[in-house]
Structure 1
């Protein structure tokens, strides 16, 4: 398991902003946090259950490519969840 550092998380966010454009990024990725990479699966958190669903459906491939480029680890899947209860 690779837990992404704060710097890696910020790098993921910056690359997503660059790839998707500021308008799309600001619409869907506010409150987004990329947490870990376990057995090729990225676990990330969105600000709501709705946004988690949208990010999963629309932006999983971009997220996988970005995390792979930051960590150097192979990414085979993406899991975007609503925020954990402790972060709400």
Structure 2
């Protein structure tokens, strides 16, 4: 496993916000943290279970593509967990 730096986490967040827009980012992604990668899987934490599910279902391909750019490594799967399971 490779822990992401704060800069990598923020870079993924910034690129995501630039694509989905400020309003959607603030509503859906508030409090998200992109945490670590294992192989081609990116693990992230969202504020609750509903939001985690919404992000996984609706934004995983986008996040995987953006994370691949930021990390310089292929990301195929994004797993978003609620912070309570952290």
TM-score for both structures, normalised by structure 1? 0.92
Q: Which runs of 5+ in 1 are unaligned?
A: none
After TM superposition, give the deviation of residue 85 of structure 1 in Å.
5.0
Q: Which runs of 5+ in 2 are unaligned?
A: none
Instruction: Count residues in correspondence.
Output: 86
> Following the alignment from structure 2 to structure 1, what is the Cα–Cα distance between the partners of residues 51 and 64?
17
RMSD across aligned C-alpha pairs, in angstroms?
A: 1.1
In structure 2, the partner of 1:68 is: 68
After superposing on structure 2, the runs of 4+ consecutive aligned residues of structure 1 that deviate more than 4 Å are none
After TM superposition, give the deviation of residue 23 of structure 1 in Å.
1.0
After TM superposition, give the deviation of residue 2 of structure 1 in Å.
2.1
> Following the alignment from structure 2 to structure 1, what is the Cα–Cα distance between the partners of residues 69 and 47?
24
